[in-house]
Amino acid sequence: MNLSFFDQFSSPSLLGIPLILIAMTFPALLLPAPDNRWLTNRLSTLQLWFINLVTKQLMLPLDKKGHKWALILTSLMIFLLLINLLGLLPYTFTPTTQLSMNLALAFPLWLATLLVGLRNQPSVSLGHLLPEGTPTPLIPALILIETTSLLIRPLALGVRLTANLTAGHLLIQLISTATIALASTMPAVSLLTLLVLFLLTILEVAVAMIQAYVFVLLLSLYLQENI
């Protein structure tokens, strides 16, 4: 059976049952289980230190009113980070390469931040659609432009995450295919492409971490505008 480069992004299934839910719930197995002991092992201590560091970074742009979102934003950050990193392992599937899943994460959270602003400070939230001092003839056009830019925010969140991860996976597959194809004919060139593949893999690990952080950071900035 001939496989294309894009077959790696199709949702796997077993006996007609999609396995994407298993891929989405697997990162939860890597998190520490609740324990009543004061002293835990080094892995749990490292995980708790990392979660504390992530929470502090995400709460920096938020006021005290937004700190009640700490659990949601930190959980989303850890969830996306683990899924992106696990997707770089061989013979694995990355759910965040699916635009539908990313939009399903982005749209409800963006809508929640928007509804929080409309509930707590409706005049300020609606005032963002029309900058102060706008000339009268430009008011209809600016309201339309600002409304469009507001509505495409969840789409931009989902497309950004999907495009970056998809491009990285495609580059890794292309270079690895070239490395194997050149191994028998041009070993020196194959070693060079292998070095490029190693460097690209390191870059993709960084991209997986950065994209998860950017996704949640933008949501926190949207929240800050509405509190």
How many Cα atoms sit within 13 Å of 42 on the Cβ side?
A: 0
Q: Which pLDDT value is given to residue 184?
A: 83
Q: Which pLDDT value is given to residue 1?
A: 41
The helix (run of H) or strand (run of E) holding residue 20 is: helix 20-25
Instruction: Quickly tell me which residue has 């070993």 as its tokens.
Output: 187
Residue 180 class from Cβ within 10 Å (0-12 exposed, 13-18 middle, 19+ buried)?
A: exposed
- Sketch the domain layout of the chain as residue ranges: 19-29+41-123+144-226
Q: Which pLDDT value is given to residue 108?
A: 93
> Residue 27 and residue 224: Cα distance in Å, rounded?
29
> Residue 172 and residue 181: Cα distance in Å, rounded?
14
Q: pLDDT digit of tens for each residue in the chain (227 aa)?
A: 445 666 666 666 677 666 777 777 777 777 766 666 666 677 778 888 888 888 888 888 888 888 888 889 998 998 899 888 888 887 777 888 888 889 999 999 999 988 888 888 877 777 777 777 777 787 788 888 888 888 899 999 999 999 999 888 888 888 888 888 888 888 888 899 889 989 999 999 999 999 999 999 999 988 888 87
The helix (run of H) or strand (run of E) holding residue 17 is: strand 17-18
Q: Which pLDDT value is given to residue 2?
A: 47
Q: Which pLDDT value is given to residue 9?
A: 65
Task: Tell me if 69 sits within 8 A of 190, measured CB to CB.
Answer: no
Q: Which pLDDT value is given to residue 111?
A: 92
